């Protein structure tokens, strides 16, 4: 008897096995196509807007921290977790809302949410938890929405100009204020948005997160340092405006020229030094009373 060979069913289809690297490449290509405009616009803002320039340093620092903790991350088993798809879906919804409303903040922050969601989905919750801080740090690279920035900047301008005027008057300078304009005997100074303290506030807030992580501080110490970085940034900016006003009373050209440019960097260094000392004190006390 001959061997009977079953004929293939007409409706049956062969499964095509696509190599893993091709699937990954296609996935990355789709994400790149969606976010290339968003990321390029963000990079341009980092380069051209002083208040957002700190964002250029955030991605390299976040990647370096993730690389330094690679042994901790890889020590956890890689298990797919479908719960991460909820975060992926939320990221897609955030991107869609940002695109429809032309809100850059939502579109930009959705990229970080998407990366976090994909990590959670394909690597599991344990590995995702080890990378949680780099993702939080990466989210800080996105500048505040314009409406929030404007709402915060205006009161800070008035506060900085009012307090600087009072301090300068106490130092014997003939000065008075009208809104955010400071009038001296020989010149007048306008406290613009760039002098409101938001530049220092964003930078010092990110620095406080880094110090808390590097010092392996408790979550209470980290939160306290982050909160205190806000009045500290305002304080160092008031010092800068006061110094400009006092110097402008004697040397107006020097005050609005070289000193105004150089003092921005100098005040940030001073502010970071004060933040570092404050962090040492807070973390030491938090460990002592833990």
Residue 11 in this model has a pLDDT that exceeds 60: no
pLDDT value of position 15: 54
Domain end call among 108, 142, 176: 142
- State residue 1's pLDDT score: 46
One domain, residues 127 and 173: no
Which residues, including other chains, have CB under 8 Å from residue 193's CB and lie 6 or more apart? 51, 153, 157
Residues 248 and 186: beta-carbon distance below 8 Å: yes
Cα-Cα-Cα-Cα torsion 25, 29, 32, 34, nearest 10 degrees, comes to -140
Tell me: pLDDT of 277 over 80.
yes
State the average pLDDT over residues 56-69: 92
Which of 142, 176, 209 is the last residue in one of the domains?
A: 142
Average confidence (pLDDT) over 193-212: 77
User: What pLDDT shows up at residue 261?
Assistant: 64
Classify residue 50 as exposed, middle or buried by CB count within 10 Å of its CB (0-12, 13-18, 19+).
exposed
pLDDT at 10 exceeding the cut of 70: no
- Percentage of residues of the chain with pLDDT beyond 70: 84
Q: With 70 as the cut, is the pLDDT of residue 195 above it?
A: no
Q: Domain for residue 4, yes or no?
A: no
| Mean pLDDT calculated for residue range 102-107 | 88
**The pair of three-digit structure tokens given for residue 235, joined into one six-digit string:** 């304080």
In a domain, 79, yes or no: yes
Side-chain half-sphere exposure of 35, counting CA atoms within 13 A: 24
Q: What would the pLDDT profile of 143-157 be if each residue is shown by its tens digit? A: 888 787 777 777 777
- Please state the domain count of the chain: 2
Q: Is the pLDDT of residue 13 over 70?
A: no
* 102: Cβ contacts below 8 Å, ≥ 6 apart: none
Q: What is the pLDDT of residues 80-94, one digit of tens each?
A: 999 999 999 999 999
State which residues form the domain around 203. Answer: 147-288
- On whether residue 105 sits in a domain, the answer given is yes
Q: pLDDT tens-digit profile of 251-269? A: 766 666 666 666 667 777 8
Q: Once rounded to an integer, what is the mean pLDDT over residues 109-115? A: 95
Same domain, 75 and 200: no
Beta-sheet pairing, 181-184 with 188-190: antiparallel
Q: What is the pLDDT of residue 218?
A: 83
247 or 70, which is more confident = 70
The length of the chain, given as a count of residues: 290
In a domain, 13, yes or no: no
In percent, the amount of the chain with pLDDT more than 90 equals 30
Is 194's pLDDT higher than 50?
yes
Average pLDDT over residues 107-124: 94
């Amino acid at each position: 008897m001959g061997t009977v060979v079953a004929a293939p069913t007409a409706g049956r289809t062969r499964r095509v096995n696509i190599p893993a690297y091709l699937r990954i490449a296609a996935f990355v290509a789709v994400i790149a196509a969606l976010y290339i405009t968003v990321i390029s616009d963000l990079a341009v803002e980092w380069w051209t807007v002083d208040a957002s320039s700190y964002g250029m340093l955030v991605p390299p620092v976040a990647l370096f921290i993730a690389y330094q903790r690679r042994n901790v991350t890889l020590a956890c088993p890689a298990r797919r977790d479908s719960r991460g798809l909820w975060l992926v879906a939320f990221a897609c919804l955030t991107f869609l809302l940002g695109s429809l409303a032309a809100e850059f903040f939502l579109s930009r922050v959705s990229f970080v949410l998407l990366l976090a969601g994909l990590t959670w989905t394909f690597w599991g919750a344990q590995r995702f938890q080890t990378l949680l801080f780099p993702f939080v740090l990466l989210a800080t690279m996105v500048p505040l929405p314009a409406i929030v920035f404007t709402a915060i900047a205006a009161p800070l301008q008035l506060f900085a100009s009012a307090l600087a005027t009072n301090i300068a008057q106490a130092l014997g300078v003939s000065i008075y204020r009208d809104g955010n304009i400071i009038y001296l005997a020989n010149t007048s100074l306008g406290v613009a948005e760039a002098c409101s303290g938001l530049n220092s506030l964003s930078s010092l807030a990110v620095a406080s997160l880094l110090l808390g992580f590097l010092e392996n501080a408790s979550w209470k110490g980290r939160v306290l340092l982050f909160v205190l970085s806000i009045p500290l940034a305002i304080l160092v900016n008031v010092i800068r405006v006061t110094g400009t006003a006092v110097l402008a009373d004697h040397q107006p050209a020097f005050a609005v020229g070289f000193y105004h440019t150089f003092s921005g960097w100098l005040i940030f260094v001073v502010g970071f030094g004060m933040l570092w000392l404050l962090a040492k004190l807070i973390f030491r006390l938090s460990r002592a009373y833990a």
